[in-house]
């Protein structure tokens, strides 16, 4: 390993602070990604990713070059047929799925739910029952990264099972920390990416799906080209290659990141995140700051914090932290004055303590 790379503390919800070893794992000899050696690396990565949430005999990870939205767009645009789908919108990422469905002309019903409270299951069931269109699919975000709200995917899965609806989950910011079992939770399709809880580099996104559901897409007329889920699945199965140039170095980093996740253990990773969150919350309390989502529905991964009063300006606070090697994130919800702090990546409570100390300095300076 060469000399150390400067370590910044990213309190953003991805990309996150990575380990030194993940950073250096990208420095490798050049390779043509259509060589069998690279195919084996991608097959290994796919299987390991599947194993985190399902049984690889019956489920498959389909890798794409692209940010997380590519995987969500692939799923939404490739899977539904001519029947309608329900999209749960309780934050910016639920809204994004509606926007994707809109662009592709997919028949969808938007189910709106409060930003800071659990989804009302009775209301959702009524929405399914009262639809004059046949509902074949439902899409929901597992963890709304805009607020920190953790959606009740297991309950929604039960509802989907009752009505023979295939569920698609945007698990971007829950995957690899918050436990998910696709079969038990009745999730047919799940999307995530390399740069959040996996603690890899940005550039790889993926859809994990039941193989039988993927096979079922074979005869569908495609709506898309690059992001076609069936084509990407089928081509990889035959050739152990992505259809188009993959982000080679990002995949090496992902392989290393998966190895480090296995060393740490997924449950232990979430425990580390939760410990950082507890430190964050008690510090906020001490400073008189409050946050949006109540603890019982909170992911403990990202926190949407109400802006302090008087003299506060996000950009100046951001610049102050940036000069200290810490990156923070603005709020993403119209009409809500918040900023966001994520506690994922290769960071610990110690880093959060450093952040809190600086936050105290900043607040007393305004
Ligand atoms: C990060 C994220 C995405 C994808 O964002 P990209 O910028 O495309 O990587 C999608 N959904 C959720 C819930 C996310 O947290």
Element (H, E) at 87: strand 84-89
Tally of CB atoms within 10 A around 31: 13
Mean pLDDT across the stretch 275-288?
A: 98
Q: How confident is the model at residue 2 (pLDDT cuts 50, 70, 90)?
A: low
Q: What are the pLDDT digits (tens) for 124-163?
A: 999 999 999 999 999 999 999 999 999 999 999 999 999 9
Q: How high is the pLDDT of residue 236?
A: 98
**Residues 158 and 211 reside in one and the same domain:** yes
Q: Determine which residue's CA is closest to atom 14 belonging to ligand 1.
A: 172
What is the gyration radius of the CA atoms in the chain, in angstroms? Answer: 21
Q: How high is the pLDDT of residue 309?
A: 81
Share of the chain above pLDDT 70, in %: 99
Q: Determine which residue's CA is closest to atom 5 belonging to ligand 1.
A: 68
Q: Which atom of ligand 1 is nearest to the CA of 14?
A: 1
Ligand 1, CB cutoff 6 Å, lining residues: 13-14, 67-69, 72, 93, 141, 145, 170, 172-173, 193
Q: How high is the pLDDT of residue 61?
A: 98
**3-class state of residue 273 by DSSP:** helix
Given ligand 1 and candidates 10, 12, 69, 146, which is best to mutate, with the most ligand atoms within 8 Å of its CB?
A: 69
**Residues 33 and 84 reside in one and the same domain:** yes
Indicate the residue among 261, 290, 324 that finishes a domain.
Answer: 261
CA distance 237 to 9: 39
CA of 145 to the centre of ligand 1 (A): 8
Indicate the residue among 228, 261, 294 that finishes a domain.
Answer: 261
**Residues 76 and 146 reside in one and the same domain:** yes
Q: How high is the pLDDT of residue 366?
A: 86
Q: Say yes or no to pLDDT of 1 above 60.
A: no
Q: Which atom of ligand 1 is nearest to the CA of 144?
A: 13
**Residues 52 and 145 reside in one and the same domain:** yes
Q: What are the pLDDT digits (tens) for 295-335?
A: 999 999 999 999 998 788 999 999 999 999 999 998 877 77
**Residues 64 and 129 reside in one and the same domain:** yes
Mean pLDDT across the stretch 50-59?
A: 98
Among 21, 10, 20, which residue's Cα sits nearest to residue 325? 10
Tally of CB atoms within 10 A around 187: 28
Number of domains in the chain: 2
CA of 304 to the centre of ligand 1 (A): 16
Mean pLDDT, the chain, whole residue set: 96
CA of 349 to the centre of ligand 1 (A): 24
**Residues 127 and 42 reside in one and the same domain:** yes
Quick one: the chain helix, strand, coil %, rounded to 5?
Answer: 40, 20, 40
CA of 252 to the centre of ligand 1 (A): 21
What CATH number is attached to the domain comprising 318?
Answer: 3.90.1150.10
Residue 5 lies in a domain: no
Q: What are the pLDDT digits (tens) for 198-239?
A: 999 999 999 999 999 999 999 999 999 999 999 999 999 999
**Residues 246 and 330 reside in one and the same domain:** no
Which range marks the domain in which residue 275 is found? 266-365
CA of 146 to the centre of ligand 1 (A): 10
Among 178, 202, 184, which residue's Cα sits nearest to residue 10? 202
Please give the sequence-ordered ranges of beta strands (E in DSSP) within 172-237, or none if there are none: 187-193, 204-210
Q: Please, which residues have CB within 8 angstroms of residue 358's CB and are 6 or more apart in sequence? A: 320, 321, 324, 326
**Residues 236 and 99 reside in one and the same domain:** yes
What tokens appear for 164 in the block? 């023979």
Q: What are the pLDDT digits (tens) for 243-262?
A: 999 999 999 999 999 999 99
Q: Say yes or no to pLDDT of 68 above 70.
A: yes
Q: How high is the pLDDT of residue 310?
A: 77
Q: What are the pLDDT digits (tens) for 102-133?
A: 999 999 999 999 999 999 999 999 999 999 99
CA distance 252 to 255: 5
**Residues 202 and 313 reside in one and the same domain:** no
Given ligand 1 and candidates 93, 153, 191, 202, which is best to mutate, with the most ligand atoms within 8 Å of its CB?
A: 93
Q: Is 199 left (phi over 0), alpha (psi -120 to 50) or beta?
A: left
CA of 207 to the centre of ligand 1 (A): 13
Residue 156 lies in a domain: yes
Adjacency order of strands within the sheet including 302-306: 302-306, 338-342, 329-330
Q: How high is the pLDDT of residue 336?
A: 81
Q: How high is the pLDDT of residue 173?
A: 98
- For the chain, how many helices (H) and strands (E)? 12, 14
Q: Determine which residue's CA is closest to atom 4 belonging to ligand 1.
A: 68
Q: Which atom of ligand 1 is nearest to the CA of 145?
A: 15
Mean pLDDT across the stretch 276-292?
A: 97
Which sign, positive or negative, has the C-alpha torsion 346, 251, 201, 205?
A: negative
Residue 158 lies in a domain: yes
Indicate the residue among 223, 242, 261 that finishes a domain.
Answer: 261
């Amino acid at each position: 390993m060469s000399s150390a790379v400067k370590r910044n503390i990213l309190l953003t919800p991805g990309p996150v602070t990575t380990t030194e070893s993940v950073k250096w794992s990208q420095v490798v000899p050049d390779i043509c990604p259509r060589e069998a050696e690279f195919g084996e690396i991608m097959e290994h990565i796919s299987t390991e990713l599947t194993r985190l949430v399902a049984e690889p005999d019956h489920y498959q990870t389909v890798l794409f070059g692209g940010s997380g939205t590519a995987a969500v767009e692939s799923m939404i645009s490739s899977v539904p047929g001519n029947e309608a789908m329900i999209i749960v919108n309780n934050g910016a990422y639920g809204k994004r799925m509606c926007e994707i469905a809109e662009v592709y002309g997919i028949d969808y019903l938007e189910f709106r739910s409060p930003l800071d409270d659990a989804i009302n299951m009775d209301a959702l069931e009524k929405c399914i029952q009262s639809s004059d269109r046949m509902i074949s699919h439902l899409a929901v975000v597992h963890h709304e990264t805009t607020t920190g709200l953790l959606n009740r995917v297991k309950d929604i899965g039960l509802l989907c099972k009752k009505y023979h609806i295939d569920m698609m989950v945007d698990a971007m910011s829950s995957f690899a920390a918050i436990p998910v079992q696709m079969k038990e939770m009745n999730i047919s399709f799940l999307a995530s990416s390399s740069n959040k809880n996996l603690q890899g580099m940005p550039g790889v996104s993926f859809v994990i799906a039941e193989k039988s559901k993927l096979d079922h897409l074979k005869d569908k007329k495609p709506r898309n080209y690059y992001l076609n889920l069936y084509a990407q699945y089928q081509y990889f199965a035959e050739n152990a290659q992505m259809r188009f140039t993959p982000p080679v170095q990002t995949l090496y980093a992902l392989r290393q990141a998966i190895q480090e996740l296995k060393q740490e253990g997924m449950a232990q990773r979430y425990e580390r995140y939760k410990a950082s969150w507890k430190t964050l919350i008690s510090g906020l309390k001490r400073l008189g700051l409050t946050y949006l989502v109540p603890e019982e529905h909170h992911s403990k991964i990202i926190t949407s914090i109400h802006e302090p009063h008087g003299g506060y300006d996000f950009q100046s606070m951001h610049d102050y932290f940036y000069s200290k090697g810490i990156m923070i994130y603005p709020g993403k919800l119209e009409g809500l004055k918040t900023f966001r702090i994520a506690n994922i990546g290769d960071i610990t409570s110690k880093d959060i303590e450093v952040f809190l100390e600086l936050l105290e300095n900043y607040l007393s300076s305004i």
